[in-house]
């Protein structure tokens, strides 16, 4: 199953650890948002379809992921599992899969952001949203580095890309600890380069590195294919 394979490649056989941080980095147009969306689809799918049956809050900075695109990803996930189960039992009908995918997507709360102030406001909202809905286990954020240049002229002090990244990483780490949730996010790889020798408290992060090479896309050095879900070549 493509998404289950992707999920195991990223998180291991035990899946997403509680209060963990997962960083999907890479250059522009390297498939970061698609990987994030596919991981979300797997986490949303019901247990009986091989998923994790989670509720998710998406803090949407790049606006590449929509409920419609996520619904298609979930439906592909359900179809994949249903097709794999054909030999063992009667596969689910298409209408049933569509209805299940709609219910899965209804468990996603999307907070659209258009500035860093919106991001800060959304992260504050998350605390109250998690408190009122105990089924929320995962916060997804696409893309962490989106608004670095937007408020650059208004900053009183110099802030490097690395410093900007570390500030948001610290905020996400604290949020996960307080709310007992996990988080995964995409970020431009250039924000991970510490050019000025800046020091920040160490943070444990599961790293997913995307690249767009001449031969295609890679995830942590392994070839990946974006077609009817995401397949990772072992």
Ordered domains of the chain (ranges, CATH): 2-232 (3.40.50.300)
pLDDT at position 1 is 33
Whether residue 99 contacts residue 75, with contact meaning beta carbons closer than 8 Å, is answered with no
| pLDDT interval class at 11 (50, 70, 90) | confident
Q: How confident is the model at residue 194 (pLDDT cuts 50, 70, 90)?
A: very high
- 57-66 pLDDT tens trace: 999 999 999 9
- Pick 6 or 176 by higher pLDDT: 176
Task: Tell me the Cα Rg of the chain.
Answer: 18
- Residue-wise pLDDT tens digits, 110-130: 999 999 999 999 999 999 999
Beta-bridged to residue 112, according to DSSP, are: 60
In the block, which residue shows the tokens 């974006």?
226
Write down the pTM of the prediction: 0.90
Q: What is the pLDDT of residues 120-170, one digit of tens each?
A: 999 999 999 999 998 999 999 999 999 999 887 778 788 999 999 999 999
Among 6-10, 29-33, 230-234, the range with the most confident prediction by mean pLDDT is 29-33
Count Cβ neighbours within 10 Å for each residue of 39-65 and write b for 16 or more, e otherwise. bbbbbbbeeebbbbebbbbbbbbbeeb
Q: Is the pLDDT of residue 3 over 60?
A: no
pLDDT in the model for residue 91: 65
Task: Give 216's pLDDT tier (boundaries 50, 70, 90).
Answer: confident
pLDDT value of position 92: 74
Interval 67-111: pLDDT, tens: 999 999 999 889 888 776 655 556 678 999 999 999 999 999 999
| Pair of tokens at residue 142 | 């696409």
* 48 DSSP assignment: G
């Amino acid at each position: 199953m493509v998404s289950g394979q992707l999920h195991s490649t990223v998180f291991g056989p035990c899946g997403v650890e509680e209060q963990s941080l997962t960083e999907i980095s890479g250059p522009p147009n390297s498939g970061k948002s698609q990987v994030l969306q596919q991981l979300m689809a797997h986490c949303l799918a019901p247990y009986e379809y091989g998923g994790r049956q989670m509720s998710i809050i998406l803090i949407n900075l790049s606006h590449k992921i929509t409920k419609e695109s996520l619904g298609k990803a979930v439906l592909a996930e359900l179809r994949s599992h249903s097709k794999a189960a054909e030999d063992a039992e009667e596969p689910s009908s298409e209408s049933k899969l569509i209805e299940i995918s709609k219910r899965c997507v209804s468990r996603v709360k999307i907070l659209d952001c258009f500035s860093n102030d919106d991001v800060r406001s959304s992260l504050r909202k998350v605390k109250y949203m998690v408190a009122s809905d105990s089924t929320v286990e995962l916060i997804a954020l696409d893309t962490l580095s989106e608004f670095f240049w937007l408020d650059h002229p208004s900053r009183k002090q110099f802030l490097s890309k690395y410093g900007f990244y570390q500030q948001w990483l610290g905020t996400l780490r604290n949020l996960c600890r307080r709310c007992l949730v996990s988080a995964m996010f995409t970020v431009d790889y250039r924000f991970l380069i510490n050019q000025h020798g800046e020091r920040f408290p160490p943070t444990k992060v599961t790293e997913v590195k995307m690249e767009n090479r001449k031969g295609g896309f890679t995830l942590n050095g392994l070839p990946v294919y974006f077609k009817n879900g995401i397949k990772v070549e072992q």
